[in-house]
Structure 1
Amino acid sequence: MPQPAPSPSPGIPPGCNTRPPIVGDQRRRLMQRWHGPGGIAHVLRIGLPLLAGMGSITAMHLTDRIFLGWYSQDALAASLPAGATFFLLTSFFLGTAGYAGVLVAQHVGAGQTDKVGRVVWQGVWFALASFAPLILLALAAGPIFAAMGHPAEVRSLEETYYRVLMLGAGFMVLEAALAAFFSGRGLTRVVMCVNIGGAILNIPLNYLLIFGNWGLPSLGVAGSALATVTAWAAMAGAYGLLIFTRRNDGLYGVFRGRAFDRPLFARLVRLGMPGGAQVFLDVFAATVFIALAGRIGKAELTATSIVLSANTPAFLPLIGLSQGLAVIVGQSMGAGKPAEAVRAAGSAVRIMAIYMVIMAAVFLGFPDQLALIFSPNEADASFGAALAYCRPLFAWVVVLGFCDVVIHAAFGVLRGAGDTRYLMVAAALVSAFALVAPAWLAVTAFSFGVVGLWGVFAFYAAVMAVVLWLRCRGGAWQTLRLVRPAGDGH
Structure 2
Amino acid sequence: MKPASADYSWWGRPAGGREVAVVAAPLVISSLSWTVMTFVDRVMLSHVSGPAMTGAFSASTVWFLLVCFPLGLCTYANTFVSQYFGAGRLERIGPAAWQAVWLALATGPLYLLAIPAANALFTAVGHSPEVVASEVPYFQVLCVGAPAMLIAQAAASFFSGRGKTRVVMYTDAGFAGLNVVLDYAWIFGHWGFPEWGVVGAGWATVVSLWLKAACYVLLLLTRHNRERFGTLRGMRVEWPLLGRLLWFGTPSGLQMLLDMAGFTAFILLVGKIGPAEAEATSVAFSVSSVAFMPVWGLSLAVGILVGQRLGEDRDDLAGRATLTSLVLGLGYMSIISLLYLFTPGLFLAGFGGPSDSPESTSRLAAVLLRFVAAYNLLDATAMVFAAAIKGAGDTGFVLRVSVVLATLLIALSWLSVEVWQLGVYGSWSLITVWVWIVAIAYVLRYQQGAWRRMRVIEPPPPDLVMATE
State the TM bucket, normalised to the shorter chain: over 0.9
SS in 2 for 1:156: helix
Q: Which residue of 1 aligns with 2:387?
A: 412
**Identical aligned pairs, as a percentage?**
35
Distance 1:417 1:125 in 2: 23
Correspondence 1:441 to 2:418? no
SS in 2 for 1:36: coil
| CA-to-aligned-CA distance 1:238-261 (integer Å, 9 cap, x gap) | 212222122211100011111111
Distance 1:187 1:116 in 2: 13
Could you tell me how far 1:438 is from its partner in structure 2?
1.5
Q: Is the 8 A contact 1:168 1:229 kept in 2?
A: yes
- Give 5+ residue unaligned stretches, structure 1: 1-29
Distance 1:215 1:223 in 2: 13
SS in 2 for 1:296: coil
Cα distance change of structure 1 residues 485 and 377 upon mapping to structure 2, 3 Å threshold: farther
Which consecutive segments of 4 or more residues in structure 1 shift more than 3 A? none
Distance 1:138 1:323 in 2: 31
Residue identity matched to 1:399: A
Q: Which residue of 2 aligns with 1:117?
A: 94
Could you tell me how far 1:122 is from its partner in structure 2?
0.5
Distance 1:468 1:141 in 2: 36
Residue identity matched to 1:42: E
Q: Which residue of 1 aligns with 2:439?
A: 465
Distance 2:109 2:148 in 1: 12
Could you tell me how far 1:211 is from its partner in structure 2?
1.1
| CA-to-aligned-CA distance 1:330-389 (integer Å, 9 cap, x gap) | 111111111111000110000001101110121111223422311123214xx4432232
Q: Which residue of 1 aligns with 2:17?
A: 40
SS in 2 for 1:71: coil
Distance 2:238 2:61 in 1: 34
Q: Which residue of 2 aligns with 1:284?
A: 261
Distance 2:225 2:347 in 1: 45
Distance 2:277 2:428 in 1: 11
Map 1:257-276 to 2 at 5 A: 257-276=234-253
The number of aligned residues is: 460
Map 1:7-406 to 2 at 5 A: 31-380=8-357, 383-406=358-381
Q: Is the 8 A contact 2:284 2:366 kept in 1?
A: no
> Which range moves more in the overlay, 276-285 or 388-397?
388-397
Distance 1:391 1:197 in 2: 31
> Which range moves more in the overlay, 240-249 or 123-132?
240-249
Q: Is the 8 A contact 1:334 1:485 kept in 2?
A: no
Distance 2:315 2:396 in 1: 19
SS in 2 for 1:267: helix
Residue identity matched to 2:33: S
Distance 2:82 2:31 in 1: 19
Could you tell me how far 1:131 is from its partner in structure 2?
2.3
SS in 2 for 1:295: coil
Q: Is the 8 A contact 2:248 2:456 kept in 1?
A: no
SS in 2 for 1:260: coil
Q: Which residue of 1 aligns with 2:4?
A: none
Distance 1:488 1:440 in 2: 55
Q: Which residue of 1 aligns with 2:451?
A: 477
CA RMSD of aligned residues (A): 1.7
SS in 2 for 1:375: coil
Could you tell me how far 1:485 is from its partner in structure 2?
5.3
Q: Is the 8 A contact 1:389 1:451 kept in 2?
A: no
Could you tell me how far 1:85 is from its partner in structure 2?
0.4
Distance 1:240 1:388 in 2: 45
Distance 1:340 1:261 in 2: 31
Distance 1:140 1:338 in 2: 48
Distance 1:396 1:145 in 2: 27
TM-score between both structures, scaled by the size of structure 2:
0.95
SS in 1 for 2:163: coil
Distance 1:175 1:116 in 2: 16
Q: Is the 8 A contact 1:334 1:482 kept in 2?
A: no
Residue identity matched to 2:447: R
SS in 2 for 1:49: helix
Residue identity matched to 2:428: W
SS in 2 for 1:57: helix
Distance 1:89 1:61 in 2: 18
Q: Is the 8 A contact 2:244 2:456 kept in 1?
A: no
1:452 is aligned, of 413, 421, 426, to 426
Distance 2:452 2:440 in 1: 19
Q: Is the 8 A contact 1:318 1:405 kept in 2?
A: yes
Could you tell me how far 1:470 is from its partner in structure 2?
0.5
Distance 1:247 1:457 in 2: 48
Residue identity matched to 2:53: L
| CA-to-aligned-CA distance 1:377-414 (integer Å, 9 cap, x gap) | 3214xx44322322221110111211111111012101
SS in 2 for 1:379: coil
Q: Which has the larger radius of gyration?
A: 1
Residue identity matched to 1:373: G
Residue identity matched to 1:98: T
| CA-to-aligned-CA distance 1:131-154 (integer Å, 9 cap, x gap) | 221111233212221221000110
